[in-house]
Structure 1
Amino acid sequence: MTGWTVAPDAGRVEQPRCGHLDQAPAEEPPAAARGCVECLAAGGSWVHLRKCLLCGHVGCCDSSPGQHAWSHADTTGHALARSVEKGEDWAWCYPDSLFLRPEPS
């Protein structure tokens, strides 16, 4: 992975910018767990998983009861997380509420 860019939004005349892309390291960290760290510890469940692009923390999505990926971003200031669902190649910036896609090679 070389980096991320804001996904185009055809509904906007002026395309949004992400003020947090510079936080993403050149090398993506490995996943901290095979499931949501907090749900695994508490015996809970999740809908989808997101991995923090800064530290590798794996948390559950906003559709999950715990919303641990958002909570991680909120408490740590780590703004960027990617989907770790099979077949999905996108990320999300929590503070800017923006979808991100891999930079073209």
Structure 2
Amino acid sequence: MTEHTSAIPGIDPSIPPSGDGCSDCLGGDGPGWWLHLRRCAACGNIGCCDSSVSQHATRHARKEGHPFIASYEPGENWVWNVDTEQFYESPALAAPTAHPVTQPTPGPAGKVPADWQQQVR
């Protein structure tokens, strides 16, 4: 069952996302590609999902104490609490709410290896 986030501390709907892709992957930490993108609901940091090789979004959440991760995929409107392992309906977050639809999944274009399906969890 999903819960509403209107009164939950740790979600700041006014903070815009940090970019169009995983900031750590693009910064050289890991193989440089991701399966899906997630957004920190506290600070806007974009990271890669837990099915991605590097799992930067969850790493960021635990390191920074920002437990709410929002989907950064087109058409998805949820947040996940890494501490309680619960899904919530996402509040209206600052735009954009997803990576550009022109960006492939997995991405980014030109960085995804041919054997990517064997590398994801």
Report the TM range for the smaller structure's normalisation: 0.7 to 0.9
Give 1 or 2: higher strand fraction. Answer: 1
TM-score (norm 2): 0.65
Counterpart in the other structure of 1:99: 87
1:31 corresponds, among 5, 17, 23, to 17
Distance across 2 between alignment mates of 1:47 and 1:102: 21
Distance across 1 between alignment mates of 2:21 and 2:76: 16
Distance across 2 between alignment mates of 1:102 and 1:94: 15
Gaps of 5+ in 2: 92-121
The correspondence of residues 1-105 of structure 1 with structure 2, limited to 5 A, is 7=2, 21-25=8-12, 27-42=13-28, 44-102=32-90
Gaps of 5+ in 1: 1-5, 9-17
Distance across 2 between alignment mates of 1:75 and 1:102: 22
- Check conservation: 2:70, 2:90, Cα contact below 8 A: no
Alignment length (residue pairs): 87
Which runs of structure 1 show a deviation greater than 6 angstroms over 4 or more consecutive aligned residues? none
- Check conservation: 2:38, 2:69, Cα contact below 8 A: yes
Give the CA deviation at 1:23: 1.7
Deviations 1:31-83 (A, max 9, x none): 10110000011161000000001100000000000000000001000011100
- Check conservation: 1:28, 1:53, Cα contact below 8 A: no
Q: CA RMSD in A?
A: 2.0
- Check conservation: 1:51, 1:69, Cα contact below 8 A: yes
Give the CA deviation at 1:21: 2.4
